């Protein structure tokens, strides 16, 4: 009887250890239409595709998608406190700024909004990653540079990782873009999922 009880206890320890090893870390994605499946269903978007891929791989993390089409950094800043109050998350990725840039918002305002979001997360000991957004060149070299510099400045000043923009290799290929020339199409979603899969793997390795 003692041997059987010991075997049961040993099995429970093994199962609990395995469960702990595969604990699902939640990565909050605060983004805009590029991550909100614009022009298609949620199930066709890159976040859903990536979460399906991660589940098959038994990855120790998944994405909670809090992206909204048309979102700005000001909108993200206003929503973030409520999200953090309701969700327990292990990391935050901010994919915002594109709509600010397309509307010609002042870079100082964009930087302030991003900085405040980082501070909100850091106040709860949540690691933050900011994606370096790019805007079309027709906004002029001066504004484009000021806009792009915002993300590197936030990364440097807050000592956080700035992620490469996942649209860099997508936007230059017309076959991967919707007719508006701004949003990735259905074909591009799997490619973005692969790009982000590598970035998430690097993030998780960095945190562990």
> What are the pLDDT digits (tens) for 49-72?
999 999 999 999 999 999 999 999
| pLDDT, mean over the chain | 90
* 149 is known as an active-site residue: no
96 to each of 15, 120, 196, how far by Cα in Å?
Answer: 40, 16, 16
pLDDT at residue 36 greater than cutoff 90 = yes
Domain annotation for the chain: domains and CATH numbers: 24-207 (3.40.50.1110)
pLDDT at residue 154 greater than cutoff 60 = yes
Of 192, 105, 196, which is closest to residue 143 (Cα–Cα)?
Answer: 105
Distance of CA 19 to the CA centre of its chain: 25
Check if the beta carbon of residue 85 is closer than 8 Å to that of residue 123. Answer: no
In this structure, what token pair is assigned to residue 156? 């440097």
Q: Which residues contact 140 (CB under 8 A, 6 or more apart)?
A: none
* 180 is known as an active-site residue: yes
pLDDT digits (tens, 9 = 90+) for 74-126: 999 999 999 999 999 999 999 999 999 999 999 999 999 999 999 999 999 99
Task: For residues 30 and 129, give the distance between their C-alpha atoms in angstroms, rounded to a whole number.
Answer: 10
* 17 is known as an active-site residue: no
- Point out which residues pair with 162 in neighbouring strands: 130
Task: For residues 92 and 94, give the distance between their C-alpha atoms in angstroms, rounded to a whole number.
Answer: 6
Rounded to two decimals, the pTM is 0.88
Q: Which of 32, 33, 35, 67 is catalytic?
A: 33
115 or 23, higher pLDDT: 115
Q: Which of 88, 159, 175, 180 is catalytic?
A: 180
Of the pLDDT bands very low, low, confident and very high (cuts 50, 70, 90), residue 7 is very low
Mean pLDDT of the region 164-184:
97
Question: Residue 208's pLDDT is what?
Answer: 67
């Amino acid at each position: 009887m003692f041997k059987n009880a010991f075997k049961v206890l040993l099995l429970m320890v093994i199962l609990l250890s395995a469960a702990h090893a595969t604990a699902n870390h939640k990565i909050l994605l605060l983004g805009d239409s590029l991550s909100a499946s614009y022009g298609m269903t949620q199930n066709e978007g890159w976040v859903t595709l990536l979460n399906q891929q991660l589940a098959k791989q038994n990855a120790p993390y998944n994405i909670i998608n809090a992206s909204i089409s048309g979102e700005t950094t000001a909108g993200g800043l206003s929503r973030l406190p409520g999200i953090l109050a309701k969700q327990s998350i292990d990391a935050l990725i901010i994919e915002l700024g594109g709509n600010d840039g397309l509307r010609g918002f002042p870079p100082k305002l964009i930087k302030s909004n991003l900085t405040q979001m980082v501070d909100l997360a850091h106040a709860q000991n949540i690691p933050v990653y900011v994606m370096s957004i790019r805007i079309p060149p027709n906004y002029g070299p001066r504004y484009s540079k000021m806009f792009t510099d915002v993300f590197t400045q936030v990364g440097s000043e807050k000592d956080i990782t700035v992620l490469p923009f996942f649209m860099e290799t997508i936007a230059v290929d017309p076959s991967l873009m919707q007719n508006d020339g701004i949003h990735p199409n259905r074909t591009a979603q799997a490619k973005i999922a692969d790009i982000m899969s590598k970035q998430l793997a690097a993030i998780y390795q960095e945190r562990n």
